[in-house]
């Protein structure tokens, strides 16, 4: 979202912009009657600007560019219209007035007729949260059709694709019947989609730059629960070409087809569009192309990645080489989770987990902006769960069994500084330093979270190691001051593990564990 600061002139509503809007309205007064009806007259514009002066209007979250291009063959700018953010507009503005303001914001990206073009993604989910604020009632489909017919020609002509993500049942039922009779060319641009993820998986459209609200994440969760086939199956072996399941697509009609053909294609497409929203088998309704699945080819998401590759990809960013996901999760945890008892220890049963996992499995360079502070506020246990999953789902464990003996011999902070950290790779050292810093700051709120440095070490240690012997891993995740349970000790001896104790230490106890080392590190961070 920070990249949009360079476009601030598009979103301001001061007196200067007000004058421009007045000039814009007067310039359009000489056009045809149809064009003139879509733009405010001088008197209505003055009334609108008076309202904007009394109530500043920020449309940067309602209509904004993603600063990315649509994939071939339509290489044009992508813009997003988020209906869930419409409630941020002043309630005194009518839908007609708000539409004209958004039209003004859209104009720089439209270009002149026959030159340039743009792609519009409509996130059709409404914001159902916030009972204390007045809810804006969005107009029905008749209003949108009426507005579309009265748009200046360049807005319609230069629109190359229109994606409507999760349209309502009423909208997706009527659109296939209405749009062809308005304009067959317009209908060929229309792509109603059941899910935001299908925008990427079915159409290869990058999700980068799209700001997802909590209501959008919740809507995605409901859709994916009913339609898990939206996401292509993950291949059983990484790197292999695996075929994907058939997924319905919306048929297009030729702009030169006859009226009879329009009618046939309209009915056919309406049935297919309706079928794409129902959990029924899809026979002969199209499929993903036979190209390699986006999850298999090229760049990957955050799951099952090599740590060195992730750190290398993040080099040069504003986070100092730390993956953006970790930074966003860390900020959300320290902002919203510090008042929750048992954070990291208690697990989240949120229905949003599968959706977040699916979104984070999209290639990192293609991922949308997730509202982690909102998610953490809704469920403070969810960001720690995602962070723990990330750490435990690496291609290789963060700490391999090659450092186990060194962990056992690490008894002081000086040992961590002079022995343990120098033995790590630069990527592992960078990640652990960030993680320990986060846990240290979180431990300062132990009075409310009931999670001191030892408790945090106990819950985070198991996700950092995954050696060939689970018994050895289990012993390393015990508190160093407590004896090894007899049953666990016996299994360790059967496996041939060396549990010899040091001189002066009682039988049944060991030198140190990963939990003990992490406890010291978290408690005394930063190491001077």
Instruction: For 31-64, write each residue's pLDDT tens digit.
Output: 333 333 443 444 555 555 554 445 557 788 899 9
Higher pLDDT residue, 385 or 45? 385
Q: What mean pLDDT do residues 71-85 have?
A: 90
How would you label 236-265 residue by residue, b for 16+ Cβ within 10 Å and e otherwise? eeeeeeeebeebbbbbebeeeeeeeebeeb
CATH architecture assignment, domain 2-231+248-275? 3-Layer(aba) Sandwich (3.40)
Residue 251 has pLDDT above 50, yes or no: no
The continuous run of DSSP H or E covering 67 comes out as strand 63-69
Phi, psi dihedrals of residue 130, rounded to the nearest 5°: 75, 70
Q: Give the pLDDT of residue 146.
A: 81
Examine the pLDDT at 173 and tell me if it is beyond 70: no
Q: For 262-310, what is each residue's pLDDT tens digit?
A: 343 444 444 444 444 444 333 333 333 333 333 333 458 999 999 999 9
Secondary element (H or E) of residue 493: helix 486-494
**Rounded Cα distance, 443 and 453, in Å:** 6
Residue 483 confidence (pLDDT): 86
Report the C-alpha gap between 459 and 451 in whole angstroms. 10
Contact between 195 and 230 (Cβ < 8 Å): yes
For the chain, the average pLDDT equals: 77
> Which carries the bigger pLDDT value, residue 294 or residue 381?
381
Nearest alpha-carbon partner for 333 in 360, 373, 371, 368: 373
Over residues 489-503, the mean pLDDT reads: 73
Q: E strands along 102-205, which residues?
A: 118-123, 159-165, 190-193
Give yes or no for residue 163 having a pLDDT over 60.
yes
- Peptide bond between residue 193 and the one before it cis (omega within 30 degrees of 0): no
The fraction of the chain above a pLDDT of 90, given in percent, is 46
Output 284 or 515, whichever has higher pLDDT.
515
Q: How confident is the model at residue 147 (pLDDT cuts 50, 70, 90)?
A: confident
**pLDDT band of 96, cuts 50, 70, 90:** confident
Instruction: State the virtual CA torsion across 283, 284, 290, 294 in degrees, nearest 10.
Output: -50
Q: What is the pLDDT of residues 414-450, one digit of tens each?
A: 999 999 999 999 999 999 999 999 999 999 999 999 9
Residue with the bigger pLDDT between 233 and 371: it is 371
Q: pLDDT tens for residues 201-228?
A: 999 999 999 999 998 999 999 999 998 8
pLDDT at 430: 95
Q: If pLDDT is split at 50, 70 and 90, which confidence band does 8 have?
A: very low
Give φ, ψ of 225 to 5 degrees: -70, -35
pLDDT (mean) for 330-350: 95
Model confidence at 98: pLDDT above 50: yes
pLDDT, residue 345, reads 95
The mean pLDDT of 402-418, rounded to a whole number, is 94
More confident residue, 462 or 139: 462
pTM, rounded to two decimals: 0.77
Rounded CA gap, 38 and 36, in Å? 5
Task: Tell me what pLDDT residue 235 has.
Answer: 52
Q: Where are the domains of the chain?
A: 2-231+248-275, 299-393, 397-528
């Amino acid at each position: 979202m920070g990249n949009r600061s360079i476009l601030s002139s598009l979103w301001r509503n001061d007196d200067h912009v007000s004058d421009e809007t007045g000039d814009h309205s007067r310039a359009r007064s000489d056009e045809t009657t149809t064009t003139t009806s879509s733009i405010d007259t001088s008197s209505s514009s003055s009334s609108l600007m008076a309202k904007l002066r009394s109530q500043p209007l920020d449309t940067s979250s309602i209509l904004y560019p993603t600063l990315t291009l649509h994939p071939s063959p339509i290489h044009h700018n992508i813009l997003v219209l988020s209906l869930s953010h419409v409630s941020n507009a002043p309630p005194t503005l009518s839908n007609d007035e708000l539409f004209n303001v958004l039209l003004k914001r859209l104009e720089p990206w439209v270009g002149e007729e026959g030159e340039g073009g743009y792609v519009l993604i409509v996130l059709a989910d409404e914001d159902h949260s916030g009972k204390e604020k007045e809810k804006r009632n969005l107009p029905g489909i008749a209003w949108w059709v009426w507005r579309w017919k009265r748009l200046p020609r360049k807005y319609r002509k230069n629109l190359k694709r229109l994606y409507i993500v999760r349209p309502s049942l009423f909208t997706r039922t009527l659109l296939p019947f209405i749009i062809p009779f308005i304009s067959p060319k317009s209908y060929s641009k229309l792509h109603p989609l059941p899910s935001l993820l299908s925008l990427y998986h079915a159409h290869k459209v990058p999700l980068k730059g799209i700001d997802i609200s909590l209501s959008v994440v919740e809507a995605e969760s409901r859709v994916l629960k009913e339609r898990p086939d939206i996401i292509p199956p993950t291949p059983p072996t990484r790197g292999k070409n695996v075929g994907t399941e058939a997924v319905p697509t919306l048929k297009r009609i030729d702009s030169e087809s006859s009226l009879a053909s329009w009618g046939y294609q309209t009915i056919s497409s309406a049935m297919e569009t309706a079928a794409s929203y129902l959990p029924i088998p899809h026979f002969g309704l199209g499929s993903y192309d036979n190209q390699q699945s986006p999850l298999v080819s090229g760049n990957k998401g955050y799951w099952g990645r090599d740590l060195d590759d992730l750190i290398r990809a993040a080099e040069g960013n504003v986070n100092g080489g730390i993956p953006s996901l970790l930074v966003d999760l860390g900020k959300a945890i320290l902002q919203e989770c510090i008042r929750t008892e048992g954070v990291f220890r208690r697990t989240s049963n949120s229905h949003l987990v599968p959706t977040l996992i699916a979104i984070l499995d999209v290639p990192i360079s293609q991922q949308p902006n997730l509202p982690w502070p909102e998610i953490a506020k809704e469920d403070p246990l969810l960001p720690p769960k995602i962070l723990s999953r990330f750490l435990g789902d690496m291609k290789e464990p963060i700490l391999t069994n090659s450092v186990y003996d060194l962990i056992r011999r690490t008894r002081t902070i000086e040992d961590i500084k002079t022995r343990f950290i120098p033995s790590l790779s630069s990527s592992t050292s960078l990640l652990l330093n960030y993680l320990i810093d986060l846990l240290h700051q979180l431990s300062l709120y132990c009075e409310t979270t009931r999670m001191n440095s030892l408790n945090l070490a106990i819950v985070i240690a198991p996700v950092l190691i995954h050696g060939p012997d689970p018994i050895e891993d289990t012993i390393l995740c015990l508190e160093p001051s407590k004896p090894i349970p007899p049953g666990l000790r016996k299994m360790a001896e059967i496996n041939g593990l060396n549990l010899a104790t040091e001189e002066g230490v009682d039988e049944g106890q060991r030198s140190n564990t990963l939990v003990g080392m992490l406890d010291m590190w978290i408690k005394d961070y930063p190491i001077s």
